Chain A
Amino acid sequence: MSEYAISIASNMGMIAFVALSAYVVLVVGEISFGQQAYFGIGAYVSGMATAMWGWPFGFALVLGSCVAAIAAFAVGALTLRLRGLYFAIATLCFAEMIRLGLNSIHVQVEIDGEPVGPDGAEGFGDIRWMFEHDVTTLEYMFIIYALLGAVLVVLLLVERSNLGAVIRMIGQDPLLARSQGIDVGTCKLLVIVFSGMIAGLGGCLYAHFATYIEPNVFNVMLGVHALAYGLIGGLGTALGPIIGVVLDIGFLEGVRAIQGYRMIAFGGLVAILLIIMPRGILDEVRIHHIKRWLRRQ
């Protein structure tokens, strides 16, 4: 594989984490414009863990996703009573708060005579774990896809389960779900926490892949893309957002000939799909038909 192909594939893998995290919130019936913040939190925390405190990579991953999950818990608990537009605005505000907060955070330690750590808007460089441990980009890509695969397996298992049915019920009609004895608030909160964890994990991977991160990477456009991936690929299965990522990054950005037109094509694609397939290519009904067909075979 060429370095270019590896970097596109790795990017797809890492962005898939944010896409999945936006997707699970969509499935439970809310639109979050703030998933990029968890991605950013994961990136910063895990970067600090390895670059500043010399933690092993694995622990940094756990720490980064846990801190992101805790942040998601806080946001989820505060926004539990909000619905629709209000939830969307609240999550967007939170994410912007985090981004602007990162812009003014300077925590640096001296390592080998060089200052290392987040330096406000200047960003946070020298997250060099990959080089220090001789991990090639190809190997790193496998790490990304192994973790993504694990997350996907968990999501697909949950979707097949009764718990998955309950989550979809909340997304479709929370009042009816409530009248059926479902504790809607707790379920939603759990999903939001899980979404934060997934996005955080993706962020951890991103920081160590890019070796340099800055607050502006985690701006609202990342969140908007994350949402769009689910809406393109479909909200009927966790594979939906993956399809969205592949279409956008793999095809539009990956194929050099059309690279320059990416945003134009992407915007058009989203607009067309929202009109003809409002819940994406693999929506609930299509997934139902596919499952049926598979059962008959």
Chain B
Amino acid sequence: MLKLDDLSKHFDGVRAVDGLSLEVDQGEVFGLIGPNGSGKSTTVNLICGVLSATRGKVTFKGRDLHGLPPHRRLNAGISRTFQNIRLFGELTVWQNVWIARRDAPGREAGFIRNWFGSSARTREAIEETLVFADLAGRANDLAQNLAFGEQRRLELARAVAARPDLILLDEPAAGMNREEVEDLRQRILALKHDGITVLLVEHVMELVMGVTDRIAVLNFGKLIALGTPGEIQGNAAVREAYLGSPDSESA
């Protein structure tokens, strides 16, 4: 469903992503891991169109995304969460979800009505999304007044509300405690159950190993391993990337 082909991004000679090719299948939870600075976030930004590739291409559902700006990619079916929580803090929880699930102009409610209200169906969908994220009681609170975990859930709710085919989760478990991670794991499985493909960039191995179908490991912008969680755990190259080679250890 999502195909990266020789994808590369160079920043002034630094090869953040270097000739990355991989394919994510429909309906799977795909993990993307690697040490700090290995190019995971750059890859996410390339898929979302926040950055444009130096070389190579991103194909989504058979369509080359080259030149498609970020706001069009959302309509194409790709939504995301951010590594640092990004919400519209001075707007309500409801509005933060609404922006992702709003009626398309001229489609569901008519252009003018769209701007002054939402169709009943949309309102219902927003309520549902808020229930999914356990935020139903907080719809009218300002997003900045939510607790950390709630803000993370609101980000997820927003990503889900866009009715994407693919969700990119950029380190969603950062700063979470065990319980919250387990809660997040359940939610990701629920997404999978609904047929949404998930690309999970994560450092919290407990989550990655417990929820993904396949994992790709990056190091210095290159793919060094690809396989099921079990295969990755036993992979020598991956261990070396994370822990350093025996030589560098003694140095």
Contact = CB atoms under 8 A, between A and B. Distances in A.
Interface of B is mostly: mixed
Contacts of B95: 165, 169
Given A162-B116, A162-B117, A179-B48, A172 B91 contact: yes
Interface string A279-297: 0000011001000100000
Interface of B: 48, 50, 69-72, 74-75, 80, 82, 86-92, 95, 98-100, 102, 114-118, 140, 142, 158, 162
Interface in A215-262: none
Contact of B74 (A157, A172, A180, A292): A180
Interface in A176-221: 176-183
A178 B117 contact: no
Contact of A182 (B71, B82, B87, B140): B71
A50 to B, nearest CB: 35
B129 to A, nearest CB: 14
A136 B118 CA distance: 47
Most buried by A among B72, B89, B115: B115
Contacts of A161: 115-117
A153 interface: no
Interface of A is mostly: helix
A175 B92 CA distance: 19
Contacts of B99: 165-166, 169, 177, 180, 182
A85 interface: no
Interface residues of A, number: 23
A29 to B, nearest CB: 12
Given A179-B80, A182-B99, A168 B90 contact: yes
Nearest to A291: B140
B151 to A, nearest CB: 13
A163 interface: yes
Given A168-B88, A169-B99, A180-B100, A162 B118 contact: yes
A173 interface: yes
B48 A162 contact: no
B159 to A, nearest CB: 10
B116 A179 contact: no
Most buried by B among A168, A172, A181, A284: A181
A162 B88 contact: no
A284 B92 CA distance: 11
A25 B136 CA distance: 33
Nearest to A284: B90
A199 to B, nearest CB: 24
A237 to B, nearest CB: 12
Contacts of A175: 50
Contact of B91 (A163, A168, A182): A168
28 contacts: A161-B116, A161-B117, A162-B115, A162-B116, A162-B118, A165-B91, A165-B95, A165-B98, A168-B88, A169-B88, A175-B50, A177-B99, A178-B71, A179-B70, A179-B71, A179-B74, A180-B158, A180-B162, A181-B71, A181-B74, A181-B162, A182-B71, A183-B71, A284-B90, A285-B90, A285-B142, A288-B92, A288-B142
Nearest to B82: A176
